[in-house]
Amino acid sequence: MNDEFDFEGRPSRPQTRPMQVWDVLSVLVLIVTACLAVYFVFIFLRPDSPFNFLPPGGRGPRLPTATVTPLQLQPTWTASPTLELTPSDTPRPTFTPFSTNTPFSLVPPTKTARPTSTPRAPFSVTVNFRPSTIFYPELACSYFIIGGEAVDVQNSPFYFGIVKIGGTLNGHTIDPEMHTTVTGVATQFGPAGFEIKLPEAPLVNSNETLWIQMFDTALTPLSDRKYFNTYNDCERNLIHVRFKATR
């Protein structure tokens, strides 16, 4: 009784005991219990959590299984055929002209018919005028003589060309069927020379009323119809015609 009071009549402070080992262990057990309670509540709320070591459905970490890979021998090398590339011609680039400004017009253009291309005849025709006395000095200057020759591209004689003359002269009709000859019969004009005389028509001036044309043996035209003039002149009463191959 006297221990609780000091000599002055005041109560004395109780003496505190130091924390024992068992007290520390009790505190740790309480902390661990609280953590386990929190863990179990978390696992109950989140059963699929990665912290759940026993998830529902029996899922869990699986250990990888070893797979046996059989050893295989390397395949035998087989030579494969070598493909040879065939060179091909590469076309050269073509020049593309620059674009030009095209004028704009509100007036529609009128359609213009394109001219049809006429194939070029294989022989050209040249007409010259000379006096007939060069070849016939004994004949009088009283009628026209049409003569000349036919040659190919190399200026070699072109034989068996059929030459026709037609048209009108001083009111007379010149029938081409009656005024026909063949190249090679009048050699005075050349190896493949020809000649047609018009004694029925005297010397007169005319403006391209007569024509001359050459055909092959099938009567296919070898030249265009060449119209020529005539003159009332003894220095020009011989119409010299030359057929020249162009191809």
Q: Which helix (H) or strand (E) holds 128?
A: strand 123-130
Question: pTM of this prediction?
Answer: 0.52
Q: Is residue 203 scored above 70 in pLDDT?
A: yes
Q: Is residue 216 scored above 70 in pLDDT?
A: yes
Residue 116 lies in a domain: no
Residue with tokens 């034989």: 159
- Percent of the chain topping pLDDT 70: 66
pLDDT at residue number 79: 59
Q: Which is higher by pLDDT, 118 or 46?
A: 46
pLDDT at residue number 193: 96
Residue 25 lies in a domain: yes
Residues 33, 132, single domain; the answer is: no
pLDDT at residue number 13: 58
Q: What distance, in Å, lies between the first and last C-alpha atoms of the chain?
A: 160
Q: Is residue 174 scored above 80 in pLDDT?
A: yes
Residue with tokens 């030249």: 223
Q: Which domain holds residue 35?
A: 20-57
Q: Which is higher by pLDDT, 153 or 10?
A: 153
Residues 52, 138, single domain; the answer is: no
Cα gap 237→180, rounded to integer Å: 19
Residues 233, 157, single domain; the answer is: yes
Q: Is residue 115 scored above 60 in pLDDT?
A: no
Residues 42, 144, single domain; the answer is: no
Residues 132, 224, single domain; the answer is: yes
- In the predicted model, what is the mean pLDDT of residues 144-149? 94
Distance from chain centroid for Cα 99: 19
Tokens coding 31? 């902390």
How many domains does one find in the chain? Answer: 2
Residue 181 lies in a domain: yes
Residue 228 lies in a domain: yes
Q: How confident is the model at residue 21 (pLDDT cuts 50, 70, 90)?
A: confident
Q: Which amino acid is at 189?
A: F
Among 57, 81, 103, where does a domain finish? 57
pLDDT at residue number 54: 73
pLDDT at residue number 120: 79
- In the predicted model, what is the mean pLDDT of residues 139-159? 91
Residue 221 CB neighbour total at 10 angstroms:
14
The CATH number of the domain where 133 resides is what? 2.60.40.2190
Residue 100 lies in a domain: no
Cα gap 229→210, rounded to integer Å: 7
Residue 235 lies in a domain: yes
Residue 189 lies in a domain: yes
Q: Is residue 105 scored above 70 in pLDDT?
A: no
Cα gap 223→152, rounded to integer Å: 13
Residue 224 lies in a domain: yes
Instruction: Answer yes or no: are the C-beta atoms of 231 and 140 closer than 8 Å.
Output: no
β-bridge partners, 213: 164
